[in-house]
Structure 1
Amino acid sequence: MNLSQLPPSLKYEPPGTPIRVEFDRRIGHYSMDGNHYHSACEIYYLFSGERNYFIRDRSYTVRPGDLVPIGANEVHKTSDVGVPNHERIVIYYEQTFFEALDAEEARLLQTPFNLEYAVRSLNLQEKAHVETLLHSLLGELADTPPGYGMHIRHMAAELLLFAARHARKQDSPPPCEPTPVQRKITEIVRHINSSYAEPLDLDGLSKRFYISSSHLSRMFKEETGFKFTEYVNLTRIKEARLLLRDTNLGVTAVSERTGFDNFSHFGKVFKKMTGMSPRQYRSVYRSD
């Protein structure tokens, strides 16, 4: 099957399904918007083009034939590297997918999401195998013959099994050595991830990491796809959601625990990112 024969966008997302699929052919330059973490695990595969992909705490250059497993609740974002046009597929695996398996199978299939390096570069044989699975999946999604959903879920499970066996075979090194700038940004991101409850601003971090604030701001956006303040707020709100859902801390205490020195600002940022106030979020997602 030739991908050019497919519509520019295809989705498989019936209500309640443990597996969802998105295919997109994007013309021109494109960078992701919005908040970029979710409860599902995902596998991203790039058919054509070139992308910068920030995952967890470092940036990768993703090229055709790269398989990118991303674990649940890991911050990630793709952005433009100056190369227009790309085709990609993303397959999402909800936690209910793993819960339906026995413990040993679930551990095996979660292997790709627990590796140090997120990008898996495939050789030509592996690339051909993966694209055979994905072309079969996309052909069914485009034509929707009887039972197509069953076939899509089967191909998605086959892909995940391949990724798990590939990951078990070796925890491969990064596709290329990170540049000094990438190493510096990784260091800064790791500091933000561990110190979100402390005051964090460009001036303070520029002194801590011996770099000018203007240069830090520009490098951070180029390497991660996020503005500095956007990433700090995203990290803090991600933790606040966990605390609201899983603890008895009051909303004010959650605000303070996650680094907001102003309760009103916390409420505004939280609502902007989640679509609801902290109290509304707790009432909807409280686990007990």
Structure 2
Amino acid sequence: MELSKLPDSLSFGKKPDTRPVQVEFDRRSMYYTMTANHFHSEYELYYLFTGERYYFIKDRNYTILAGDLVLIDSEEVHKTANRNDLIHERIVLYYQPAFFAALPAEERELLLSVFRRDYPVLRLNLQERLTVEGLLLSLLEELMEKPPGFSLRVEQIGAELLVLTARILLKKEAVAAEVPSPSQLKLTEIVRYINTHYNEPLDLEGLSARFFISKSHLSRTFKEFTGFGFSEYLTLTRIKEAQQMLRGSTQTITEISEAAGFDNFSHFGKTFKKASGMSPRQYRAIHQNGKTNGG
């Protein structure tokens, strides 16, 4: 299967019949930046066939080139944006947590290890790239032709990709991280501060004073660095933390709203529903086996 023979978009495994491994292939020739759902419970394997992208993950911005694998942990904030070339072709595999839960412990830890590295970008050598692309093109051929058993084959290839990636990482030293500029280091420091002080009153004026950077410069460079506006990122971080508390704590929803940094319960409810597609109470019911706590 040649990449050029594929349609501009292919997908597999999405709702309503969610599969353990989901796939998205896209060929884009115009400006594109992610606009929604910037974190999710699935583990994500991203491969760039052609073009260049910026990828913000957790608290750093990475340059992604053709042939790079990006491996994103569950619930990790991330966002892609254009770099130099608007034209790019990429494939994303989303692995449901249930995919790993069904495996024996040793195999589960091996596959999950690829998503739990300090540096989430794997720059492949030519031999590794040809092997990875061979698997991915086989997967896309299955989606194009849909032979009997293609769904199972897609999931098998998804597992094979993770095994291959884990073995590559075990054989080679970690890819040398790009040396960040002083400006990038400053912004990483700011993002990390937000990530640990999300439950406190935060605004651009206060951060600019704390980090000795003008408010206008901070606003502009924060957007360039992360792909998010400051308020958008702060809200996203607070919602992410609220989701974790709703899944794992016995606090009331009102208490969680306050602990996540929201000073208005009504605003929390509206913002949470917009980001999550459901109310905090519904979210808790789903993730705590239908048992809700008052709020």
Report the TM-score, using the length of structure 2 for normalisation: 0.93
Q: Give, in whole Å, the separation in 1 of the partners of 2:57 and 2:286.
A: 28
Q: Determine the C-alpha separation between the residues in 2 that align with 1:147 and 1:265.
A: 47
Checking the alignment, whether the CA contact within 8 Å between 1:44 and 1:89 is kept in structure 2 is yes
Using a 3 Å threshold, how does the CA distance of structure 1 residues 17 and 154 change in structure 2: closer, same or farther? same
Secondary structure, in 3 states, of the residue corresponding to 1:53? Answer: strand
Where 2:98 maps in the other structure, the secondary structure is helix
The correspondence for 1:107, drawn from 102, 105, 109, is 109
List, as ranges, runs of 4+ consecutive aligned residues in structure 1 with deviation greater than 3 Å. Answer: none
- Pick from 204, 207, 222: which aligns with 1:205? 207
Q: Between 216-225 and 171-180, report the one with greater CA deviation.
A: 171-180
Instruction: State the partner residue of 1:81.
Output: 83
Structure 2 Cα separation of the partners of residues 261 and 170 of structure 1: 48
Paired letter, 1:206: S
Deviation digits for residues 238-285 of structure 1 (CA, Å, limit 9, x no counterpart): 111121232221222111111112222222211221223323333333
Structure 2: distance between partners of 1:144 and 1:161: 24
* Equivalent AA in structure 2 for residue 152 of structure 1: V
Equivalent of residue 176 in structure 1, options 152, 175, 178: 178
Is residue 54–residue 223 contact of structure 1 (8 Å, CA) maintained in 2?
Answer: yes
Which amino acid letter does the alignment assign opposite residue 248 of structure 1? T
* CA distance in 1: counterparts of 2:262 and 2:138, whole angstroms: 48
**Alignment-derived partner of residue 262 in structure 2:** 260
Match of 1:278?
280
TM-score, normalised to structure 1, is: 0.95
Pairing partner for 1:234 from 208, 228, 236 = 236
Which residue, out of 123, 142, 145, partners 1:121? 123
Alpha-carbon distance in 1 for matches of 2:156, 2:35: 31
Alignment-mate amino acid for residue 6 of structure 1: L
Cα distance between partner residues in 2 of 1:104 and 1:83: 41
1:5 counterpart = 2:5:
yes
Is the contact made by 2:71 and 2:114 (CA closer than 8 Å) also made in structure 1?
yes
Contact 2:43 2:74 in 1 (8 A): yes
**Paired-residue identity, %:** 55
Q: Deviations over 1:81-110 (max 9, x none)?
A: 242111000011111111111110111111
Distance between the aligned counterparts of 1:193 and 1:227, measured in 2?
A: 15
RMSD: 1.5
Q: CA deviation at 1:286?
A: 2.6
Structure 1 CA distance, aligned partners of 2:186 and 2:131? 36
CA distances 1:190-224 after superposition (whole Å, capped 9, x unpaired): 11111111111101111111111111111111111
Q: Secondary structure at the match of 2:23?
A: strand
| Contact 1:197–1:259 (Cα < 8 Å) also in 2 | yes
Q: Distance in 1 between matches of 2:220 and 2:185?
A: 15
CA contact (8 A) 1:119 1:174 kept: no
What residue in structure 2 maps to residue 29 of structure 1? 31
SS at match of 1:199: coil
> How far, CA to CA, are the matches of 1:271 and 1:285 in structure 2?
15
Query: Aligned equivalents of 2:20 and 2:279: distance in 1?
Result: 28
8 A contact 2:123–2:175 mirrored in 1: no
One-letter amino acid of the counterpart of residue 11, structure 1: S
Aligned to 2:20: 18
What residue identity is the alignment partner of 2:157? Answer: M
